[in-house]
Amino acid sequence: MEDRPLEYDYSVTRLFMMNTIFVGIVGMLVGVILAWQMAYPELNTFLGEGLAEYTNFSRLRVLHTDSVIYGFVLSAVWASWYYIGQRVLKVSMAESRTLMILGKLHFWIYFAASAIIVVSLLMGITTSKEYAEFEWPLDLGITIIWLLWGAGIAGLIAIRREKTLYISIWYFIATFLAVAMLHLFNNLEIPTYFGSGGIGAWYHSVSMYAGTNDALVQWWFGHNAVAFVLTTPIIAMIYYFLPKESGQAIYSYKLSLLAFWGLMFVYLWAGGHHLLYSTVPDWVQTMGSVFSVILILPSWGSAINMLLTMKGEWQQVAASPLIKFMIMGSTFYMFSTLEGPIQAIKSVNAIAHFTDWIIGHVHDGALGWVGFMVVAAIYHMAPRLFNREIYSKSLMAAQFWIQTLGIVLYFTSMWIAGITQGMMWRAHDEFGNLAYSFIDTVEVLHPYFTIRAVGGTLYLIGFIMFAYNIYKTTSAREVEASELQNASPMGA
C-alpha cells in the first residue's frame, strides 16, 4: 500500500449528491400535494381545469413513487457508492480514465433518462405495473444505466489495493445483481407496434406474462425492489457511515455475516405476501407469509448490530444530530421490519390490505429508515467532498426533530385510518349486509388524511432546511482537510 494518502475523485459523487437533494425536494413536494389532495379532492385541479390532466392524483402518484424511489434514493445510493467504494477499496477513480468515463456516463445518461421519464409519466404513458411503469424504450435505457454502474463496480474492485471486501461492498454487489435480475424478468414485454402492423403508439408494449403469472412476477419484482433498492444499499451505507461518524468498530462481524446471508436467502421468497387471498396458488401465499415472519431475524440482525455499535457511547447520540439520524433510522428499520411481517400474516392482511395502514408501513420505512439514512450519508460526506464544515449543527438538530414529528404524525394517522377502514369494510349485520358504504369510510378518514398531510408537510420543511444547510455548507469558507478530520474520530 502507498504511503502517501490517496486523492479520491469525488466528481461523480458530487453530481449524484446534488441530484439527490434536487429530486428529493421535487418528489416529496409531489407527495405532499398528493396527501393534501386526498384530504381535499378539489386540489386535483389546483392549476385549473385546463391542466387537470397533469395535476390529478393518478398522474402525480406515479411521479411521486418513481421520483422518490428511483430519483431520490438511487441517486443517494450512487453518491454513496462512488464515495464509499473508493475509500474501502483504497483506490481512486482518477487512477483509471475508463472508470472516470463510466462514472460520468452513468450520471448523465441517468439524468437524461430521468427527465424523459418525468415527461412520459406526466403524459400518462405507463405499463401500469407499479414501480415498473416505464415503457420498453426506457427499460432499455435503464438496462444501460445499470450496466454502466456494474462495470464501474467491477472495475473498481479489479484495481483495488485493499483485498478484503468490506461488508458495505457485499451489499452494493447484492443490490446490483438482484435489481438487474428483477428488472430484466419483470420487464419482458412485447412492443405492440412491431408485432401487429401498427396497433397503438410505437412505445406501447404488453407484458410477456398473462393473468396470475403476471401478478406473481410483478410482486416478486415489487417486493424485491423494496428489498434491493430501499433496504440493501441503505444497509451498505449505514455499515460505513455509522462506524466512521462514531469512531466505533461494528459490534459484531459474525452477526453482519449471518444477517447478510439471511437477508439474501429469505427476501426473495417473501413477495407472495402482496398477493394474499388472490388467485395465486395457496402454497405461494403461505410461503410468502412464513418467509416474511422469518425475515424479522436477518433484518433485526443488521439493525441490532448498528445499535450495539453505539454500546458504551450513547452520549454521542445525545450530542450529535448526525448520529441521531442514523440511530433513529435503524430504529425505524426495526419498526417497519416488525410491522411488515405482522401485516403479512394472512388474518392481519385480511384487514390491512388495500388500506392506509399499508401506506403507513411504507412511509415509516421510507421516511424514517431510508430518508434519514440518506440525510445522514450526505451530512457525513458533504464536509469531505467540499472541504468545509457543516454550516449549522443547530439547524441539523431542528431538522431532525421536525422530521421525526412529521413521520410520527404520518404513520400514526395512517394506522388509525387503515385499521378503521379495514374494520368498516368488513362490518356487516346478521344477514350479511355490509354495515357501511364506501363513502362512509371516506368521510371518517378525512381528519386522518389532514393529519398525514400536516406530517408530510413537516417532513418536507425539514428536508428543505437540510437542502439549505448543505447549500450554505458548499458556499462556506474552505478549511484544511486535517481540520475536518478532527471532526470525526475515525478521520475522513
Catalog residues that contact ligand HEM under the rule CB under 6 A.
28, 31-32, 34-35, 38, 61, 64-65, 68-69, 73, 130, 222, 226, 230-231, 270, 273-274, 292, 295-296, 299, 336-337, 340-341, 343-344, 349, 352-353, 358-359, 361-363, 365-367, 369-371, 456, 459-460
CB of 139 to ligand HEM, least distance (A): 19
* Closest of 485, 457, 450, 473 to residue 39, by C-alpha: 450
Residue 98 CB contacts under 8 Å (≥ 6 apart), including other chains: 155
- Sign for the pseudo-dihedral over CA of 18, 23, 29, 31: negative
**For ligand HEM, the closer CB: 61 or 104:** 61
**For ligand HEM, the closer CB: 157 or 342:** 342
CB of 403 to ligand HEM, least distance (A): 9
**For ligand HEM, the closer CB: 191 or 341:** 341
CB of 296 to ligand HEM, least distance (A): 6
Q: Which backbone phi and psi does 191 adopt, to 5 degrees?
A: -60, 130
CB of 45 to ligand HEM, least distance (A): 17
**For ligand HEM, the closer CB: 41 or 491:** 41
**For ligand HEM, the closer CB: 187 or 299:** 299
**For ligand HEM, the closer CB: 179 or 230:** 230
Task: Find the helix packing angle between 282-294 and 321-344, rounded to 10°.
Answer: 150
CB of 169 to ligand HEM, least distance (A): 21
CB of 291 to ligand HEM, least distance (A): 8
**For ligand HEM, the closer CB: 169 or 295:** 295
- Beta-carbon neighbour count of residue 393 at 10 Å? 15
What is d(CA 98, CA 160) in angstroms, rounded to the nearest whole number? 15
**For ligand HEM, the closer CB: 176 or 459:** 459
CB of 34 to ligand HEM, least distance (A): 4
CB of 162 to ligand HEM, least distance (A): 30
CB of 35 to ligand HEM, least distance (A): 4
Q: Which backbone phi and psi does 197 adopt, to 5 degrees?
A: 65, 35
CB of 431 to ligand HEM, least distance (A): 29
C-alpha cell at 441: 369510510
**For ligand HEM, the closer CB: 148 or 362:** 362
**For ligand HEM, the closer CB: 10 or 241:** 241
